[in-house]
A and B are shown apart, each in its own frame.
Chain A
């Protein structure tokens, strides 16, 4: 059973701070990793993808991947109240079904003004 684990939160940070979201996964062969943002009552929205070890930056977002530790994280700099949402980590399955994603349960982030 492939698993993706996230702290459910809620994670509360003040406006302007750095929010750090973490995710571990069990499928050692996974090659593609995604972070989705889901506002309450809305569908998930892709905000970051990462495929290689190291950091990938896009605006205020930085994804970090360590395949040896089976760990992926998302940093949000200068957090804004509009960042308040549930953040879902998703990992592709290895092997013949590598098009399938396994999602974590998500971390609820609250950014306080």
Chain B
């Protein structure tokens, strides 16, 4: 299965600032997914990122708040903009691997103070 390197692993940020999270995959993949996992909750899909096109956002998530880049088939970034304490969460990138399910990066634990 694919190996995903995600960074940073954690960060503490001031409200009103932005943080960019990076994911690097060791193989070319068509789609990359960005999830959020709030404390004690399950995973919620933020958006799907395809190379060469705009990301597709799920209901409740907007591009101005969570801009995504997908410059090539192995890399993507998610930016959390104008952060507030409610954005404190774990952010995960993921890729689909054939019919074998989805592999996740190690996650970014974000705390906004």
Chain A positions within 8 Å of B, measured between CB atoms, are 32, 34, 41-46, 49, 51, 88, 90, 99-101, 103-106
Contacts and interface: CB of A to CB of B under 8 A. Distances in A.
11 contacts: A42-B106, A43-B104, A43-B106, A44-B92, A45-B104, A46-B1, A49-B99, A49-B101, A99-B31, A100-B48, A105-B42
Nearest to A93: B45
Given A43-B92, A43-B107, A103 B102 contact: no
A90 B104 CA distance: 13
- Chain A contact residues: over half helix, strand or loop, or mixed? loop
Nearest to A106: B42
Interface string B37-53: 00001111100100000
A15 B24 CA distance: 39
B96 interface: yes
B102 to A, nearest CB: 6
Nearest to B96: A99
Interface centre among B44, B101, B104, B109 (most CB of A within 10 A): B101
Interface in B59-113: 90, 92, 96, 99-107, 109
Contact of A46 (B90, B103, B107): B103
